[in-house]
Amino acid sequence: MSLNVGNCPTCGKVFAKGTRTVCPACHNEIERQFVLCEKYLRENRKANLQELSDETEVPIKLITRFIKEGRISVYNSPNLHINCDVCGQPMTGGAMCYNCRHRLSHDVLNAAKQESAKIEEAKRASIVFQAKKEE
Chain residues binding Zn ion by CB under 5 A are 8, 10-11, 13, 23, 26, 84, 86-87, 89, 96-97, 100
Nearest residue (CB) to Zn ion, 37 versus 100: 100
Q: Is the four-CA dihedral 29, 31, 34, 38 of positive or negative sign?
A: negative
Exposure of 98 in the CB half-sphere (CA atoms within 13 A): 3
Residues in the chain: 135
User: Shortest approach of Zn ion to residue 100 CB, angstroms?
Assistant: 3
User: Shortest approach of Zn ion to residue 99 CB, angstroms?
Assistant: 5
DSSP conformational letter for 78 = T
- Contact by Cβ (8 Å): 4, 14: no
Nearest residue (CB) to Zn ion, 15 versus 47: 15
Nearest residue (CB) to Zn ion, 27 versus 51: 27
User: Shortest approach of Zn ion to residue 80 CB, angstroms?
Assistant: 17
